[in-house]
Amino acid sequence: MNTQSYMPVEPGVGMEENFLSLDDILLAHERLPIRIECAFPRLGFLDKSSDTQDIPEGTKMELPLWLSKGLYERKRRVLSVELPKVYREGWRTVFNADPNVVDLHKMGPYYYGLGSQMLHFDSPENPEVAQTLLQTFIGRFRRTMDSSQNAYNEDTSALVEQSEITTCQVPITIKMFITLTELLS
């Protein structure tokens, strides 16, 4: 008899893609800042700011998440992925102070999903990013629960952002929360 009170989380960091999910498809197209570590011959068309046929080493540009993950290798450095600005130290400080003051939808509708996907790339800031994602989720979830437990008998949905009301985001966010908790343990 299975006595687990929760759904087991698959091994690995971050949520796995579901190719039939529109949210996952849109998440995979989020653009990441990258730096080319070796020249890419005949791929100059990817860099819209350049007229050359090749992409030289050291070029900084943005690529979609799916392409960055495909080209990223730990052994042979083809490219390095930089953290998007919303996951850098300045924004982490804001989120750690009060996660409710930031409109996450303006920062990108896939803040939690993209953040957990960023943990796939080697970065010395990964533990801080994971901790900030977790604390942001806890703080915002606490506010959502407080708003739902009101005694006014009136609609309080205006107190909660639309992105946090969306029912399709809740299972993804809870799965990410469990995965980050295991990562930080």
Give the CATH number of the domain where residue 140 resides. Answer: 1.20.58.2050
With respect to residue 1, please indicate whether it lies within any of the assigned structural domains: no
- Identify the pLDDT of residue 56: 92
**Are residues 50 and 136 both part of a single domain?**
no
69 within a domain of the structure (yes/no): yes
pLDDT tens sequence across 85-113: 999 999 999 999 999 888 888 888 899 98
- pLDDT, average across residues 108-133: 90
- Residues 60 and 125 both lie in one domain: no
Who wins on pLDDT, 165 or 81? Answer: 81
Q: Is residue 118 part of a domain?
A: yes
Same domain, 101 and 145: yes
Residues 6+ apart with CB under 8 A from 181: 134
pTM exceeds 0.95 for this model: no
Domain span at 42: 30-82
Q: Give 165's pLDDT tier (boundaries 50, 70, 90).
A: low
Q: Confidence band (pLDDT; 50, 70, 90) for 14?
A: very low
Determine the 3-state secondary structure of 81 from DSSP. Answer: strand
The answer on 115 and 101 residing in a single domain is yes
Is there a domain that residue 20 lies in?
no
Same domain for 109 and 182, yes or no, is yes
Bridge partners (DSSP) of residue 80 are 35
Report the C-alpha gap between 75 and 77 in whole angstroms: 6
Report whether 173 contacts 112 (CB < 8 A). yes
Examine the domain organization and report whether 69 and 95 are in the same domain. no
pLDDT higher than threshold 50 for residue 12:
no
Domain membership flag for residue 7 = no
Torsion angle of the four alpha carbons 43, 48, 49, 55, in this order, in degrees rounded to the nearest 10: -10
Average of pLDDT values for 130-153?
Answer: 82
Whether residue 8 is contained in a domain is answered as: no
- b/e burial code for range 104-141 (CB count within 10 A of at least 16 → b): beebbbbbbbbbbbbbbbebeebebbbbbbbebbebbb
Res 35: pLDDT? 95
* Mean pLDDT along residues 38-63: 89
Do 64 and 97 fall within a single domain? Answer: no
Q: Does 163 lie in the same domain as 147?
A: yes
10 within some domain: no
Q: Is 4 part of any domain?
A: no
Quick one: 153 and 107 in the same domain? yes
Would the pLDDT of 31 be above 60? yes
Do residues 44 and 98 share a domain? no
- Whether 163 and 104 map to the same domain: the answer is yes
Q: How many domains in the chain?
A: 2
Say whether both 131 and 184 belong to one domain: yes
